[in-house]
Amino acid sequence: MLDLETTGGSARRDGITEVGAVKVLGGERIGELATLVDPGMRVPADVTALTGITTSMVGQAPPLSAVLPSVLDFLSGSVLVAHNAPFDSGFLRAACAAHERPWPRPPVLCTARLARAVLARDECPSVRLGALARHFGCTVEPNHRALTDARATVEVLHHLFERIGDLGVQSLEELLALVRDARPHRPTPHQRQKRRLAQNVPSKPGVYLFRGDRDEVLYVGTSGDLHRRVRSYFTGGERRRRIRDMVAQAERVDTVVCAHALEAGIRELRLIAAHRPRYNRRSRNPGRQWWVTATAEAFPRLSIVAAARDGALGPFPSQQVATDAVDVVLDALPIRRCTQRISARKPSGTPCALHELGCCAAPCAGLQSAVEYAPAVDGWRALVGGRDDGALHELSGTLDRHAEQGRYESAARMRDRLGSLVSGLDRAQTLAGLAALEEVVGARPDGRGGWEIAVLRHGRLAAAGNAPRGVRPMPVVESLRTGAQVVLPDDGPLRGAPPEEVRLLHRWLTTGGTRLVRCDPPWAEPAHGAGAWREWAERARAAGHETGVTGPDEARDDRRADRR
């Protein structure tokens, strides 16, 4: 996020007086840059009145020639996001031209145009930064100083992202196209008549359901203000064709008022899974997940199944991703690749080409007993359970040998496959660890001096409530625990909980300042699980196949060297 303060509105005649930038990755701030700049001219009185920046303040500041390299380096590899982005990017381009530096041509996203693309005019008449910050209840109030305005832009952008979840935007290119191609649409008379459906909708957080003439659920969504959100569907601000078609068929809007956003998100997932509304993209393949498990036979093999079982690895979003995980695991563990059923007493097969290549000990031909075969399957179970990461060390060693031999394409493929396996294991072990807990109580600040409280049991939301400012939270916690849903764990790594629900709960518990009030038993991750390889995978993907990094211990050594 970037914001510039200048002496005027012309990049040719005026100069930059202040630069503020915030770098964000995965929703978290990872860096900030702020400096005054000597524009080489006096600061006009009207600019001083607006920003508070005076000529004497910038007189001792570094010139733009000294600041520009740091700014460009800070923006390197990032999307340039700004409110009224053409203004800020125009000044930067002019600065690069004046100081004979190449313009890096980063992707540019304007939050003002994005706001106009996703917000109805009757919901938010103005898309000025201050107006949007007040509309969304941002914690940072813009004040025409560069860093403060950049921080406010971060919050506004995240709120706008919440509004594009159902627009089919899944990439940066689609997001930029949404802003570029946005055009206002006049509401049809039929749309205006349907506004009556929003009359009795409360202005509270929760879930809304559009229903058709046969009482079928057409669409499910969530909002922090149900009345405002539902009403926006009947204005010209709604440009999605499929949603306009849905509104034309809607005859009723039902709502479920929730305690806070987490409960609304969980109820939305459950309602979509139950009703499979045809206008929700998420409902096209509800609950379709894939798992990798060892078969129950004398010589087990790895099988891809659609139902979770104890000891299975997953969930994977597609069968192909699960197949890729199996392939890379079989490079490290001597588990057979064939699908035939082998008898432990009377093997009747003949060795195949894999035996000749040294990739299989041929249990099908009686050349390997079940006892000799068992350690390979035990290694698989230990890898999935986080008890032994020897297979990951084996694969990373293979990666390094390929790089040392100059087989860079092979090393790159191995790096990517190992990174995907680490991510899959990490995700599976993290979610399974949460689902194993009998009860977790979390409390998150609500931004108004109170607390949002949630009771989780075996990876499911069992109760949700609020302790407003001035109300003691612990009695509320005990009341929620007493009335919470009883959850009986089922089979499988996630104890029968839907993976999407466990993911949402884990994200809520580990972000936003949530505090653990109660956790029974204690929440822990396996000592030899993929979590220890998380940073290795990130570093390997970033640095390429010639990094020479061979495991989590070496990654930690590299970090110590970087600090020195």
pLDDT at 444 over 90: yes
Query: Could you say which DSSP state residue 493 is in?
Result: T
pLDDT at 542 over 70: no
H/E element holding 207? strand 206-211
pLDDT of amino acid 554? 44
Other beta carbons within 10 angstroms of residue 439's beta carbon come to: 16
Strand partners, 144: none
Closest CA to 270 of 440, 427, 497: 497
Strand partners, 23: 31
pLDDT of amino acid 183? 52
Separation of alpha carbons 259 and 423, rounded Å: 33
Other beta carbons within 10 angstroms of residue 554's beta carbon come to: 15
pLDDT at 390 over 70: yes
pLDDT of amino acid 179? 80
Residues contacting 57, CB < 8 A, separation 6+: 36
> CATH number of the domain at 1-182, out of 3.40.50.920, 3.40.50.300, 3.30.565.10, 3.30.420.10?
3.30.420.10
pLDDT at 35 over 50: yes
Separation of alpha carbons 433 and 459, rounded Å: 9
**Signed CA dihedral, 517, 519, 524, 525: sign only:** negative
pLDDT more than 70, % of the chain: 90
Mean pLDDT of 220-233: 89
Closest CA to 344 of 300, 399, 295: 300
pLDDT of amino acid 564? 34
pLDDT at 101 over 80: yes
Going by DSSP bridges, is the β-strand pair 439-445/515-520 parallel, antiparallel, or unpaired? antiparallel
Closest CA to 440 of 381, 480, 383, 407: 480
Per-residue tokens: 383? 């890898």
- The DSSP annotation for 115-150 comes to HHHHS-TTT-S---HHHHHHHHT-SSPP-S-HHHHH
Residue 9 in 3-state DSSP?
coil
Q: 248-307 pLDDT, tens per residue?
A: 899 999 999 999 999 999 999 999 999 999 898 876 565 578 999 999 998 999 999 988
Decide: 209 and 271 in contact? Cβ < 8 Å: yes
More confident residue, 238 or 202: 202
Decide: 115 and 156 in contact? Cβ < 8 Å: yes
pLDDT of amino acid 14? 87
Mean pLDDT of 431-454: 96
CATH for the stretch 189-283:
3.40.1440.10
Decide: 400 and 550 in contact? Cβ < 8 Å: yes
Closest CA to 289 of 312, 315, 270, 309: 315
pLDDT of amino acid 461? 97
Backbone φ, ψ for residue 403 (5° rounding): -65, -40
pLDDT of amino acid 430? 94
Model confidence band, residue 540 (pLDDT cutoffs 50, 70, 90): low
pLDDT at 361 over 90: no
pLDDT of amino acid 547? 43
- Average model confidence (pLDDT) across the chain: 87
pLDDT of amino acid 368? 86
Check if 1-182 and 189-283 are the same fold. Answer: no
Position 546, amino acid: E
Domain ranges of the chain: 1-182, 189-283, 290-385, 438-520
pLDDT of amino acid 549? 43
Separation of alpha carbons 376 and 335, rounded Å: 6
Mean pLDDT of 459-486: 96
Closest CA to 157 of 27, 310, 298, 317: 27
Separation of alpha carbons 456 and 484, rounded Å: 9
Other beta carbons within 10 angstroms of residue 510's beta carbon come to: 11
pLDDT more than 90, % of the chain: 54
Separation of alpha carbons 170 and 59, rounded Å: 46
**Signed CA dihedral, 191, 192, 197, 202: sign only:** positive
Mean pLDDT of 450-456: 97
Separation of alpha carbons 95 and 89, rounded Å: 10
Separation of alpha carbons 279 and 154, rounded Å: 30
pLDDT of amino acid 459? 96
Other beta carbons within 10 angstroms of residue 75's beta carbon come to: 17
Backbone φ, ψ for residue 534 (5° rounding): -60, -50
Residue 304 in 3-state DSSP?
strand
Query: Could you say which DSSP state residue 26 is in?
Result: T
pLDDT of amino acid 81? 95
Strand partners, 206: 223, 257
pLDDT of amino acid 191? 63
Separation of alpha carbons 251 and 214, rounded Å: 9
Decide: 530 and 386 in contact? Cβ < 8 Å: yes
pLDDT of amino acid 4? 94
pLDDT of amino acid 505? 97
Separation of alpha carbons 10 and 12, rounded Å: 5
Backbone φ, ψ for residue 409 (5° rounding): -65, -40
Among all chains, which residue has been given the structure tokens 């009345």? 227
Per-residue tokens: 402? 């390929």
Relative orientation angle of helices 408-435 and 534-543, to the nearest 10 degrees: 150
Query: Could you say which DSSP state residue 155 is in?
Result: H
Q: What is the 3-state secondary structure (H, E, C) of 363-405?
A: HHHCCCCHHHHHHHHHHHHHHHHCCCCHHHHHHHHHHHHHHHC
pLDDT at 152 over 70: yes
Closest CA to 22 of 7, 34, 32: 32
* Selection from 49-58, 171-180, 354-363 with the highest mean pLDDT: 49-58
Rg (CA), the chain: 28
How many residues can be counted in the chain?
564
pLDDT at 434 over 60: yes
Q: 494-524 pLDDT, tens per residue?
A: 999 999 999 999 999 999 899 999 998 999 8
